[in-house]
Structure 1
Amino acid sequence: MGRHVEGILLRAADELQALQEERKKVDPQTAEAIDQFLLKLRACATADSSFTFILDDPAGNSFVRTYMKYHVSRFAPSPDPSLSIKFYERTSEQQSTLGYVVESSQTGSVRDAASTEVVGTSDQAQRAPHGSIGAAAGHRAIAQSNSAEIAESLFRYTAPEEVMTFPSTCGVCTARCETRMFVTNIPYFQEVIVMASTCDACGYRNSELKPGGRVPEKGKKIILRVKNVKDLSRDVIKSDTASVTIPEIELELTSGTLGGVVTTVEGLIMKISESLERVHGFSFGDSLDEHKRSKWLNFQASLKKLLCLEEPWTLILDDALANSFVAPATDDIKDDHQLMFEEYERSWEQNEELGLNDIDTSSADAAYDSKDATTEEKSEV
């Protein structure tokens, strides 16, 4: 919630005032004390009396805007004398309230045993059959029904031969967890590496998709014309080097925004809306003037209209490394007239941003050439 100090005080006063009539009937003494407190609270809200406003957030996700005065140099702001920020170590009760694992003698012994077990297997990655990860149930369903359609729907993408499991550390609670990784091939796209981590201690889950193979020589632009509900259900792979553009609402997200995600067209729009609300949540409060507030609300409403399909709209993914993908709605991608792919030569600036201009493979090429030459000489002999 984003509000200014006056708005927080007035809201607290209004909520206390709402039940005052009932309190006067049940507990007149408490109601009278609250009336006196409301007079002081409203006096603070109108700046008739000075007061101290303390905001204590164990999660560290709160913010108070700094009022800065600038000197002659606009790059040298003076500190706000009325605002002070202090950081502190959370107590075990606060850690538990926030959902973090609290160290104790019992959990410590269990964790030590688990860590000892993991250390013993860390030297060599574990390999488990893919069926043990989640495909066994699908195989049973196919065997019982003996239907090619079910097999196609369950295994739309080619299943990997095996899943590699190796120990890792949770990024939230730093407990020991496992990361599973396998390589799969997506039709009409390319070979990709899927990595997934799950923490049994705090429940945190994370999944990543990385492109496999060499760097493509050309960039790729994907243009999808969204017309019906089926288009919203298309699978979308957006890499962290892809930009997103929707011309109908003048939306343009540069490469790196949202990171790499595997979702659907509908899910991508929802992620954009949630990201904007999270980043600009403070601006949506009552501290924002009405013109800017209405502008943001109108833009948020336009994002919701995209999902309602009141009018057809266009989704454009521009990926300089050609690592993004939108699934076709037909068996043959050539028959999908709403989906278009355009390849283009990357500019020098794009290669510079991706770090491709600094890559020197001359020594590796020379080594490969000498190895090939040696092999040919041996074959001739």
Structure 2
Amino acid sequence: MELGSVVEAVSEDVGGASLDNIQSFESLCMHCGQNGTTNSFITFIPHFRKIWLSAFDCPHCGDKNNEVMFVGEIPTRCCCYTLVIPSGNPELLNRQVVKSEYAIIKIPELDFEIQSKTRCGSLSTIEGILMRAADELQALQEERRKVAPETAEAIDQFLVKLRACATGELSFTFILDDPAGNSFIENPFAPSSDPSLTIKFYDRTDEKQALLGYQVREEPHGSVGAAAGHRAIAQSNSAEIAEALLRYTAPEEVDIFPIICACGSSCETRVFKINIPYFQEAILFASTCDGCGYRSFELKAGGGIPEKGKKITLHVKNINDLSRDVIKSDTSSIEVPELDFEKLPSGTSGGAVTTIEGLVKNISESLEKLHGFTFGDSLEEDRRSKWLDFGDRLNKLLTLEKPWTLILDDPEGNSFIAPATDDLKDDKQLIYEEYERTWEQDEELGLHQMDTSSADAAYESANPSNLE
């Protein structure tokens, strides 16, 4: 069902979010030429972000539509949502979908694709998107029968399958790929993972950057002293994080890379290396933008990808454990069994450098920002109670009313929790385990696509004496 312009219906479908400051004005209907009513307002979609929603309703011909624009920071990465919908599960078709104007929708089983810029950003459901696509194809069928009867017959057969998908009679895969990073499919199980939904975030290429109308990144240049790098980290994250990192090692110089922020302003990324005991060489990236205020701080492990994944388990028992340094790579998941909580790698925040206490606070803040522990008055009481209870139990982790367990599972093996002793083996609360990655994990890391044959050939050519 497509969301219309009735304010009460919109309020219900966005999870009871507040609809303050609604502005209403008359607009010309493009179908009948009469005046209809447009309601526009800013609202918050649970599990997503703030949006500006404009909903039009024509009382003369019944035409309804909505348009979505996005409020806040411009995402720096692309997103791709994949939802597997088996037959006989119509409830999956009721999930909210936010589609930006740049997003592409695909159904591989039907070889069907809705191209970007076919319409403005919209707020709908899986069923609403498929039924709208079927109705738009159906609208021109009579004209097609006159000029291309064979094409019309093929489309009739396709529409039967498309409507069967829209009613839950056929199983299919719904893919939402957005280079702007502004699209979204609802996860009703949040904060837990969704077994039917896979979310991937990936870097925006120069071609996608140009497609969105942003300036393409420039070539790197220059370097500055370590003091400037220290300031850059403090500006991009916090002074405490800067001190925590630089107590391990102080870089002699910091490389500067001029970049273009997603807002279009010119800014810089400062990059340098550090060595962390019990871990490895790491590369730090710190960026700030004076244009929009965007700040980012990422840490990437240096060197090659380890042959095995790493699982780190820490039993948090005392106040000193909350001060342990933590490095969480962007491929690491976070699990707290006592809360039945697991946060899969999102790919949006990059590698994080913090403490156990800081990691828990970051989880709480990110969940509150994305999901909210309280919503509007129309939110179901059981969902409100669920969030309030989870938020309370999450905050109690820092008071150490009971011991709890933190698990970092990193298939790339680049995460780290500092031991409390000089010898890692003497720390009985901290367990490091290595494991063989599955084929799916290697595929996720892109290892199957790596081709080192040219590098091997170049090495053999440059070192013929090593050949036997």
Name the TM-score class by shorter chain: 0.5 to 0.7
Amino acid in the other structure paired with 1:226: V
Paired with 2:403 and 2:365, the residues of 1 have a C-alpha distance of 22
1:1-381 to 2 correspondence within 5 Å? Answer: 4=12, 54-57=39-42, 61-62=51-52, 73=163, 75-76=165-166, 125-134=221-230, 155-172=246-263, 174-256=264-346, 259-260=349-350, 261-281=352-372, 284-374=375-465
Change (3 A) 1:232 1:283: same
Secondary structure in 2 aligned to 1:357?
helix
Q: C-alpha offsets along residues 213-267 of structure 1, whole Å, 9 cap, x if unaligned? A: 0110000001011112221122211111111111111111223366322222122
Paired with 2:322 and 2:420, the residues of 1 have a C-alpha distance of 11
- Asked if the contact 2:460–2:466 (Cα under 8 Å) also holds between the matched residues in 1, the reply is no
Q: C-alpha offsets along residues 318-362 of structure 1, whole Å, 9 cap, x if unaligned? A: 000001111222333233221110001111121122221222323
User: What fraction of aligned residue pairs are identical, expressed as a percent?
Assistant: 55
Paired with 1:62 and 1:207, the residues of 2 have a C-alpha distance of 28
Secondary structure in 1 aligned to 2:449?
coil
Amino acid in the other structure paired with 1:294: S
Paired with 1:265 and 1:322, the residues of 2 have a C-alpha distance of 19
Secondary structure in 2 aligned to 1:223?
strand
Between Structure 1 and Structure 2, which shows a larger proportion of helix residues?
1
Change (3 A) 1:258 1:266: farther
Amino acid in the other structure paired with 1:255: P
- Asked if the contact 1:185–1:191 (Cα under 8 Å) also holds between the matched residues in 2, the reply is yes
Using structure 1 for the length normalisation, give the TM-score.
0.62
Q: C-alpha offsets along residues 287-335 of structure 1, whole Å, 9 cap, x if unaligned? A: 2211222122111111111111110000000000001111222333233
- 1:9 CA displacement: 9.8
**C-alpha RMSD of matched pairs (Å):** 3.7
Change (3 A) 1:265 1:123: closer
Change (3 A) 1:128 1:8: closer
How many residues matched?
277
- 1:205 CA displacement: 2.2
Between Structure 1 and Structure 2, which shows a larger proportion of strand residues?
2
Paired with 1:324 and 1:53, the residues of 2 have a C-alpha distance of 50
Partner of 1:37: none
Paired with 1:10 and 1:199, the residues of 2 have a C-alpha distance of 31
Amino acid in the other structure paired with 2:41: D
- For structure 1, the 5+ residue unaligned runs are 13-50, 78-121, 136-151
Using structure 2 for the length normalisation, give the TM-score.
0.52
Paired with 2:245 and 2:390, the residues of 1 have a C-alpha distance of 38
- Asked if the contact 1:239–1:259 (Cα under 8 Å) also holds between the matched residues in 2, the reply is no
Partner of 1:95: none
- Asked if the contact 1:328–1:336 (Cα under 8 Å) also holds between the matched residues in 2, the reply is yes
- Asked if the contact 1:4–1:286 (Cα under 8 Å) also holds between the matched residues in 2, the reply is no
- 1:10 CA displacement: 11
Secondary structure in 1 aligned to 2:286?
strand
Amino acid in the other structure paired with 1:56: F
Change (3 A) 1:353 1:276: same
Change (3 A) 1:275 1:258: farther
Secondary structure in 2 aligned to 1:56?
strand
